[in-house]
Every structure is written in C-alpha cells, then in structure tokens.
C-alpha cells in the first residue's frame, strides 16, 4: 500500500485551488438515474469515491463519459438495465445507498446491498428506508439486501426525519421529484450540498423549495430532463487547507471557494488566531505569528461545526497555547486519529464523545497509520507541523476524498511525497 512521507516545519505559502465537493458530486451523479436525458456535470473531482460510483452507475446501464482534463462528466441513463446495486461495489463506498431513491422513483423497484458500517460508526440507513415507506414503497431486508418496490409509483407525503441525516434527505428529495403529489421533508439536513443537489434537480425540471432550511417541499413531476450543473466547492477540503496554513504558521490563498460555506468553522479558526481575508473568488488564511489559541469545538449538523473537520481541528489544537475540548456529537467512533496524534507527541485525553487536547510546544514526526478519510488528513496536517519525518501508511483512505493532495501542498512549499506501493516498506 502507498505511503506518504512528510518532513515538517515549513510554513506554507501560496495558492491552492479547491476542487469540487465529493459530498456534492456523489448525490449529483445518482440524480442522473432520474432522467433518460443527459446530465452534464462540471467541476467533478477526480477521487476514488467518484470512480467507485461511476462503476456502480455503469452496471445500472448509465453511460458515463468522464473527461478528467476538463473535470466534466456526462451521464446518460437512457435505459436502466439493472436495478441491483451489488454488495461488492456498495461495500467499497457507503454513499452508494444514494441510488436507492432514484431507482425506486424511476423504475418502481430496486435491490440495493445494505452498506456496512465503517470505521467511524454503524451508519444505519433506517431513516432512508422509513422515509421511502412513507412515500409508498414496500421495503424488505433479505440476505443483506434492501428489496424495495413501488409498482404504482411513489406518492407524496409528509416525512419527519427523527435525526438530521444528509444522505437520507438527499435520497428522499430525489425520490420525491417523481412521486405523485407533494412531499414535505421535515427536520431535513441544511448542508450546502443539499442546496447544490436541489439546484441541479430544479435544472432538470423538478419543483423544490425550502432546500437549505429544515423543511423541504417537493411537488412531483411526470419526468425530468437534460441539464447542466457545476459541482460546488468542497468546503471540507477548504477547511482542511485553511488549517494547513495555520498549523505551519504560513499563509495560503484558497481559490474557487468561499467562507460562506463554513460559517462556524471560520469563526472557530478566527478565535484560534487565524487572519481571514476575502478576496476575489476565494480567501486568504494567514497565521498571525502568535501561538494558536485553544478553542472548544462541538460538531453539529450544518450550519454548526462540521464533523468532517473535527479531526483536522484537533490536529491544530495539539499545538495550541492552553487547551481545547472537542466534542463529537454526530458519529460514535470518530476519534481514531487520537492515538496516532499521540504517537507524534500530542497530549489528548478522551472521555466518551469528548476529547481534551492540552497544547504542546512541538509535535515530533513518527510512523502513523490512517484509519479513515478525515483522520488520515489530520495526520498529514500534524506531519506538516511536526519536527522531523512522518510516514503515513494506508493512504488509500486519503485518496477517497482529496484530489492530488501532495501536489497541492508541495506547490506551497510542503516537503511531502508519495511512496508507491512497490517501494513502500
């Protein structure tokens, strides 16, 4: 397996172009199943998860034409040849569950492997399934598969979700676009990726209002048509590189993104001492030259502090002046980066869903192991700040969500390289 080698201590300086959002692109790709006409997407990131989803959509019969150079992807689901999403593909990428709603809406049936849990939690899909039942689908679980059918099509209803769930909101919003009548999603997720999906669905002819609030209303239509849509910037990548600037005491211009995508995160970063300056189609993140101030953080659904930035913020807090209490409220096991950061000299104590980070003067490079997507990037950030060499193994986790991360960082002065498997220890 590939490894990433970092020699820390260089303040990063320069510009980083932010890619399209993984968590916007994934539902946008599955939206192609809702129409027989082509969906043209631009600003599509080149990520392992996107490759996995294209593999899944292709076996459903979707024609996928991906031009990596121009980052455009044309998806045409003229005929859906299979309504089965097999385990061997779904297990690689949980977000495959996002084909369920569109398949039932378009084909009136679907057989989708239950996505297993993952390292950060059990990740149940009960809210997706209950919601589809309320829209008239019959759902049976058998042999590890979700068997769903709606022979007379879906019927609009009011669906109150017991928990705020991003992909459940996306699945149900997509399914409702072709249901008979009106659907009201109550306690809906409010993430920018939900609004981006709604914008794309509207371009395809759907009638949706309230996206971005906790109540979304969808009036079903007969069919959806061709559309062109640009994937929004990745707010998690944005936040990750903002922390890279701060943790190395440097300054970075983050291009093709906006502070509007991360309201709570930006406020926490400013409390920690970052200088944030909006300019053009991006913003500067500058270190003040003073020590990082310890800031308490609690993850919450949008517009709260994003759970996907928790591990990265913890890496920053390991070298703060003072201490930081970090509480993870979304997932039950999202502190796996803690023992790895401690191997680098961090002082972190975990009690249940709360981690107390006591700042240390300096991290020390060490061999560490990536365990999940966001934990792995927190180790990259720590390595950039640490004295000496850090060797990160199992970096396939990184490739799921960060496009060309070594190139982007080394162009700003980072001493970072990928050791290909053949040569890796």
Catalytic residues: 118
Residue 379 touching ligand EPZ (CB under 6 A): no
The residue among 365 and 401 lying less far from ligand EPZ, judged by its C-beta, is: 401
Residue 123 touching ligand EPZ (CB under 6 A): yes
The whole-angstrom separation of Cα 22 and Cα 49 is 8
Residue 374 touching ligand EPZ (CB under 6 A): yes
4, 168, 319, 368: residue in contact with ligand EPZ (rule CB under 6 A): 168
What 132-137 contacts at long range (C-beta under 8 Å, 24+ apart), as own/partner pairs, is 132/100, 132/101, 132/104, 132/171, 132/172, 132/175, 134/158, 134/159, 135/159, 135/172, 135/175, 135/176, 135/179, 135/183, 136/179, 137/104
> Segment near ligand EPZ (CB under 6 A), from 4-12, 166-174, 197-205, 404-412?
166-174
- Using a 10 angstrom Cβ sphere, with 0-12 exposed, 13-18 middle and 19 or more buried, the burial of residue 344 is buried
Q: Shortest Cβ distance from residue 402 to ligand EPZ (Å)?
A: 10
Of 145-164, binders to ligand EPZ (CB under 6 A) are 163
Residue 330 touching ligand EPZ (CB under 6 A): yes
Of 14-33, binders to ligand EPZ (CB under 6 A) are 22-23, 26
Secondary-structure percent of the chain, ordered helix, strand, coil, rounded to 5: 35, 30, 40
End-to-end CA, the chain? 9
The whole-angstrom separation of Cα 28 and Cα 41 is 8
> Segment near ligand EPZ (CB under 6 A), from 122-130, 140-148, 227-235, 389-397?
122-130
- Using a 10 angstrom Cβ sphere, with 0-12 exposed, 13-18 middle and 19 or more buried, the burial of residue 152 is exposed
11, 38, 121, 205: residue in contact with ligand EPZ (rule CB under 6 A): 121
* Structure-block tokens of residue 314: 């913890």
In order of 300, 312, 331, 350, 364, the CA distances from 335 in angstroms are 16, 11, 9, 8, 20
- The helix (H) or strand (E) run that includes residue 166 is helix 166-176
Residue 126 touching ligand EPZ (CB under 6 A): yes
Residue 373 touching ligand EPZ (CB under 6 A): yes
> Segment near ligand EPZ (CB under 6 A), from 72-80, 103-111, 120-128, 361-369?
120-128
Residue 167 touching ligand EPZ (CB under 6 A): yes
Site string for ligand EPZ, 173-212 (x = CB under 6 A): ----------------------------------------
> Segment near ligand EPZ (CB under 6 A), from 80-88, 118-126, 213-221, 275-283?
118-126
**Residues in contact with ligand EPZ by the rule CB under 6 A:** 22-23, 26, 95, 121, 123-128, 163, 165-168, 307-308, 330-331, 373-374, 401
């Amino acid at each position: 397996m590939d490894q990433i080698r970092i020699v820390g201590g260089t303040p990063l300086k320069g510009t980083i172009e932010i890619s399209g959002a993984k968590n916007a692109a994934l539902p946008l790709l599955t939206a192609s199943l809702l129409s027989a006409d082509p969906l043209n997407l631009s600003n599509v990131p080149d990520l392992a998860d996107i490759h996995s989803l294209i593999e899944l959509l292709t076996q459903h019969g979707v024609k996928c034409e991906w031009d990596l150079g121009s980052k455009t992807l044309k998806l045409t689901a003229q005929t859906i040849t299979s309504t089965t999403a097999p385990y061997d593909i779904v297990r690689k990428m949980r977000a495959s569950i996002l084909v369920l709603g569109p398949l039932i809406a378009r084909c009136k049936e679907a057989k989708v492997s239950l996505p297993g849990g993952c390292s950060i939690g059990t990740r149940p899909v009960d809210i997706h399934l209950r919601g589809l039942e309320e829209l008239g689908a019959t759902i049976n679980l058998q042999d590890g598969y979700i068997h769903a059918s709606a022979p007379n099509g879906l019927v609009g209803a009011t669906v109150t979700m017991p928990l705020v769930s991003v992909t459940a909101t996306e699945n149900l919003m997509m399914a409702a676009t072709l249901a008979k009548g009106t659907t009201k999603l109550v306690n809906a997720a409010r993430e920018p990726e939900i609004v981006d999906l709604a914008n794309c669905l509207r371009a395809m002819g759907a009638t949706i209002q309230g996206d971005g609030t906790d109540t979304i209303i969808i009036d079903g239509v007969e069919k959806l048509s061709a559309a062109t849509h640009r994937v929004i910037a990745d707010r998690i990548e944005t936040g990750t590189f903002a922390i890279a600037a701060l943790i190395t005491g440097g300054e970075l211009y983050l291009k093709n993104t906006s502070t509007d995508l991360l309201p709570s995160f930006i406020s926490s970063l400013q409390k920690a001492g970052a200088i944030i300056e909006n300019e053009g189609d991006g913003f500067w993140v500058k270190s003040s030259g003073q020590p990082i101030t310890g800031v308490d953080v609690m993850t919450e659904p949008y517009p709260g502090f994003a759970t996907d930035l928790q591990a990265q913020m913890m890496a920053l807090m390991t070298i703060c002046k003072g201490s930081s209490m970090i509480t993870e409220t979304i997932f039950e096991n999202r502190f796996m980066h803690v023992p790895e950061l401690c191997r680098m000299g961090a002082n972190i104590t975990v009690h249940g869903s709360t981690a107390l980070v006591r700042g240390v003067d300096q991290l020390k490079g060490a061999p560490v192991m990536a365990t999940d997507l966001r934990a792995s990037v927190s180790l990259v950030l720590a390595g950039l700040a640490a004295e000496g060499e850090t060797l990160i193994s199992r970096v396939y986790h990184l490739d799921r969500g960060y496009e060309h991360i070594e190139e982007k960082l080394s162009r700003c002065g980072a001493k970072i390289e990928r050791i290909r498997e053949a040569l890796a220890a």
